[in-house]
Structure 1
Amino acid sequence: MTSNAATNDHRRVKSAGFLFACGCAGASPHWLDSARSLWPAISLALLLGGYALRTVLRGKLLRRSAAQSPIVSPTSLQPGDVPPLDVIVAARDEETVVTCLVERLIKLRYPADRLSIWVVDDGSLDRTPALLDSLADRHPRLNVIHRSRDAGGGKSGALNAALAQLKGDWLLVLDADAQLQGDLLEMVMPYALDSGWSAVQLRKAVVDADRNWLTRSQAMEMALDAVIQAGRLTGGGVAELRGNGQLIKRSVLEASGGFNEDTVTDDLDLSFRLLTNGALVGILWDPPVQEEAVAELSALWKQRQRWAEGGLQRFFDYWPTLTSAQLSPNQRWDLACFFLLQYGLPVVSFADLSTSVISRTPPTYWPLCIVAFSVSAVAYLKGCRGANQGPAIPSPGFWNLLVAIAYLGHWFVVIPWVTLRMAFLPKRLVWAKTSHGEKDPLQV
């Protein structure tokens, strides 16, 4: 097995190569005459913009209002066919939410003899260990695992500690602030089984969207993400796990090597390892998994740096397989376009703007940026309208839509900075958890 140091050096070299390639792509149009300087951006706008627009428009959103019947009827499963299921949560310093979390999990409707609940106390320094032990005394289905603070592996290490003890056929991985409706398992499990998925990601819904403009924008962003995921899957592309609310077949997870302890985003890494093992991930709009958004820019900055680093790591780590014949042509095309839009465009745009300032020439990649933000607006409109379960998604009115589109601009700062840091600064493996409020916004 490759050592962590070798893996980090490997990532650093690839980060530097990616940064150099994007820098050349962003600067080179400025060397052309003004009549041809926009050709690269216009060509990419047509190519990548067409891919993105098709992805957004063709996505099938399995919506279900509270008054409607389940998407897949739970009666399709006979009592003896209900698979054993483990619910797993990794918790570190979560005293403000852990009691509400356990009470919600205990109320999930599922055969009692087929459901086990696991919470891993990952070296908490607050009252989390004592609260969990007290809850375990009252709820026999709750299993608590205590890890030392320096056990290592971050969230992945905590999840692997539980994985070694699981007996169920499936596992549902949740964050400590996850909020679930009582019939969630009754709807999700038949969907996973009847559709033949090896894993299913639930749409993430923000419970505190009305707190401020930042949480409102994140609530709309989660809807946009689910729209894009559904569109990628419908077009024969790749859907990905999102950490909170991921249902995974245990045998497939173990065959893929469990959770990677050498990454800052276990969900994104696992998505690619499942893919390279031929396992398919589905996306389900309703019911959602509900969670809190970060309410301050400083917290968002830390969170998005981790997401960007983990996102780049997985492409650098698995790129040879992702471009091989092991994947279908549609999957390879989807991954290439997604990579260029999500990670390439922000770095190229930064290089373009920097060259523009230095050479005193106009920016050249604005056509591609306009197309990318315009398609994002279409995704917002599609995802934020219509009936949904869970918390209401903010209406995509003019002001909300304008703020949400501008909010996406933070990726054009985060990703270039993270790329620079990965290329030139020492690696720091940090599991930075989201701070949670002291009140439970969901009444169970």
Structure 2
Amino acid sequence: MAAAAVIGDYRRGKTALFLIACGWAGAAPHLWLEAGRSLLPAITLAFVLGGYGLRTVLRDRQHSSANANEIGLEPSAEYVWPSVDVLVAARDEEAVVDRLVERLAGLNYPKGKLSTWIIDDGSQDRTPALLDELQQQFPSLNVIHRPSGAGGGKSGALNAALQQLQGEWLLILDADAQLQDDLLQRLVVFAQQGGWSAVQLRKAVINSQHNLLTRVQAMEMAMDALIQQGRLAGGGVVELRGNGQLIQRSTLEACGGFNENTVTDDLDLSFRLLTAGALVGIVWNPPVQEEAVESLSALWRQRQRWAEGGLQRFFDYWPVLMSSKLTLAQRRDLACFFLLQYALPVVSFADLFTTLLTRTIPTYWPLSIVAFSISGMAYWRGCRSISDGPALPSPTPWNLVVAITYLSHWFVVIPWVTVRMALFPKSLVWAKTSHHGQQPVQV
């Protein structure tokens, strides 16, 4: 607990400095530049960051050796299948846990080479009883029960199983995950033949037709995967997304397992793999299927956690991220991504606040327009791609306008989370996403 407190204070100081820097950047053009020159910082950044974003989105993914749009590799006759452990941390998942176990039991993989581990992390519903019943039906299912308040969040739950695993590879899933029967075979062959230490599957939304919010989240997942492929193809960085990540166990153990002092184990692990020189790939097809949140309140909770975890890992690893341990292309990619994803919303908020105080015009709108335009292009390209799973929403003008507007929630979430992180101590809590048991899409 003392170590967690020290880390929390360290992050608060870093966040405060970040907040001050962004506030100064947003206010400076109003206070120290003439009206005719106040747009120069934003226009300069729009060219630099816009050029980076445009190249990332338009990069040819089909002919890149750094990633694959689809897994279609066939093993040789002498191929020896490695052992795999499927690992799921579950809390209050009675709506989906039985379907999950049945689906995992139906995966095509050599007998004796696949084991499933589900960690019940202090569930208060029927999840523990259901898992005990399912363990009697499925011999390959291993269940670990953690008491309520065991600590460490999702990372603590995963670490509880890690020390017992024997598999050469780990497939980390969320409780609502759904996979095609042959996905694991194809994924393992792809990872080994490509020399990857970890591979992230594209995330596809099962319930995209439920309402407008789930539809734009389906488009957002397609956009995210397309941008990640573009980043990797340009020598940049791929980040794990929690659900649907295959990791070599020896590499994970060499990185120290899962970090229990973070709220997003996947984003934190992405940077630890990166700084260790491990190669991380991404695959478009087939995807891992999951549920999108269905209400604004659930989205708000989820995105606060994502924003906090995203900032935490940059503050924790920034010195090594900017060191010679990474290539120049990786450092450039991370710097541009950080400025667009995290700095721009905070700077824009400071810009708006100063605009109201000084009764001048906003100065960072050129950069914001460029960022939203590139996002729209990424939506369009991603949703036009073939999906081996749930159908992607059509990138019609209406859908694109709604999806681009939806992205503006980050301009509220990230400034709010930044202020909260800078002012208030953090208590690490697993703020899980609720799942309702949507039916998977079979292709």
TM category (shorter chain) comes to over 0.9
Q: Deviations over 1:132-162 (max 9, x none)?
A: 1111111110000110011100100000011
Gaps of 5+ in 1: 65-69
**Mapping 1:128-277, distance limit 5 Å:** 128-277=127-276
TM-score relative to the length of structure 1: 0.96
Say whether the 8 Å CA contact 2:89–2:175 is kept in structure 1: yes
Segment drifting more, 431-440 vs 293-302: 431-440
CA positional deviation for 1:443: 6.0
How much has 1:442 moved relative to structure 2?
A: 4.2
- Which residue of structure 2 lines up, in the alignment, with residue 67 of structure 1? none
Question: What residue number does 1:287 align with?
Answer: 286
Aligned to 1:328: 327
8 Å Cα contact 2:389-2:442 kept in structure 1: no
Cα 1:77–1:267 shift into 2, 3 Å: farther
Give me the whole-angstrom Cα distance separating, in 1, the residues matched to 2:50 and 2:442: 42
Deviation at 1:34, TM superposition (A): 1.1
Deviation at 1:367, TM superposition (A): 0.3
1:427 equivalenced with 2:421 (yes/no): no
Q: Could you report, residue by residue, the CA deviation over 1:385-432 in whole angstroms, capped at 9, with x for unpaired residues?
A: 032101001000010000000000000000000000000012121211
Per-residue deviation, residues 29-67 of structure 1 (Å, max 9, x unmatched): 112111100000000000000001101111516445xxx
Task: Indicate the residue corresponding to 1:11 in structure 2.
Answer: 11
1:271-303 CA-to-partner distances (Å, cap 9, x unmatched) read 001111111110000110000000100000000
- Following TM superposition, by how much is the alpha carbon of 1:192 offset from its aligned partner in structure 2, in angstroms? 0.5
Instruction: Write the mapping of 1:83-162 to structure 2, written as runs, cut at 5 A.
Output: 83-162=82-161
1:279-318 equivalent positions in 2, closer than 5 A: 279-318=278-317
Task: Describe the superposition over 1:372-397 as per-residue Cα deviations: whole angstroms up to 9, x where unpaired.
Answer: 00000110111000321010010000
CA RMSD of aligned residues (A): 1.3
Q: Could you say what secondary structure the match of 1:363 adopts?
A: coil
Are the structure 2 counterparts of residues 227 and 145 from structure 1 closer, same or farther at C-alpha, using a change threshold of 3 Å? Answer: same
Corresponding residue number in structure 1 for 2:374: 375
Deviation at 1:247, TM superposition (A): 0.3
Q: Tell me how far 1:434 sits from its aligned partner.
A: 1.3
- Single out whichever of 258-267 and 27-36 deviates more from structure 2: 27-36
Q: Which residue of 2 aligns with 1:344?
A: 343
**Secondary structure of the structure 2 residue equivalent to 1:117:** strand
User: Are the structure 2 counterparts of residues 320 and 285 from structure 1 closer, same or farther at C-alpha, using a change threshold of 3 Å?
Assistant: same
Distance 2:191 2:285 in 1: 13
SS in 2 for 1:223: helix
Task: Determine what percentage of the aligned residue pairs are the same residue.
Answer: 68
AA of the residue aligned to 1:54:
R
Aligned equivalents of 2:270 and 2:361: distance in 1? 40
Number of paired residues? 437
| Contact kept? 2:88, 2:117, Cα under 8 Å | yes
CA distance in 2, matches of 1:188, 1:236: 22
Report the Cα distance in structure 2 between the residues aligned to 1:439 and 1:219, rounded to whole angstroms.
Answer: 14
| 1:54 match | 55
Shift of the 207–439 alpha-carbon distance from structure 1 to 2, 3 Å rule, reads: closer
Is the 8 Å Cα contact of residues 8 and 427 (structure 1) preserved in structure 2?
yes
How far has the Cα of 1:441 moved from its partner? 4.2
- Once residues 78 and 191 of structure 2 are traced to their aligned partners in structure 1, the CA distance between those partners, rounded to angstroms, is 15
Structure 1 residues 77 and 191, CA gap change in structure 2 (3 angstroms) = farther
Go from structure 1 to structure 2 and tell me whether the alpha carbon gap of 1:328 and 1:304 turns closer, same or farther (over 3 Å shift): same
- Note the C-alpha offset of 1:26: 0.4
Deviation per CA, 1:192-237: give whole Å up to 9, x if none.
0111110000000000001111000000000000011001100001
Please give the alpha-carbon distance, in whole angstroms, between the structure 2 residues aligned to 1:222 and 1:369. 21
Secondary structure, counterpart of 1:203 in structure 2: strand
Instruction: Report if the CA contact (8 A) 1:84-1:169 is conserved.
Output: yes
- Whether the aligned pair in 2 keeps the contact of 1:347 and 1:412 (CA below 8 Å) is yes
Distance change (3 Å), C-alpha of 1:326 and 1:406: same
Q: Which residue of 2 aligns with 1:41?
A: 42
Structure 1 distance, partners of 2:42, 2:383, is: 30
Q: Distance in 2 between matches of 1:358 and 1:77?
A: 71
Q: CA deviation at 1:433?
A: 1.3
| Residue aligning to 1:24 | 24
Q: What is the CA–CA distance in structure 1 between the aligned matches of 2:442 and 2:196, rounded to whole Å?
A: 31
Q: Output one character per residue of 1:291-348: Cα deviation in whole Å (capped at 9) or x when no partner.
A: 0000100000000000000000000000010011111111110000000000000000
The answer to which of 10-19 and 122-131 deviates more is 122-131
Name the structure 2 match of 1:356. Answer: 355
CA distance in 2, matches of 1:5, 1:236: 36
Amino acid at match of 1:218: Q
Aligned mates of 2:131, 2:389 — CA distance in 1: 27
SS in 2 for 1:172: strand
User: What is the SS of the residue equivalent to 2:293?
Assistant: coil
Q: CA deviation at 1:250?
A: 0.2
What is the CA distance between 1:438 and its match in structure 2?
4.2
Contact 2:206 2:439 (C-alpha < 8 Å) held by counterparts: no
Task: Give yes or no for contact 2:96–2:437 (8 Å, CA) kept in 1.
Answer: yes
Find the residue that maps to 1:76 and give its secondary structure: coil
Report the 3-state secondary structure (helix = DSSP H, G, I; strand = E; otherwise coil) of the residue aligned with 1:113. coil
When residues 19 and 105 of structure 1 are mapped into structure 2, their CA distance, relative to the original with a 3 A threshold, is same
Local SS of the residue matching 1:274: helix
TM score, norm. by length of structure 2: 0.97
Q: Distance in 2 between matches of 1:375 and 1:24?
A: 26
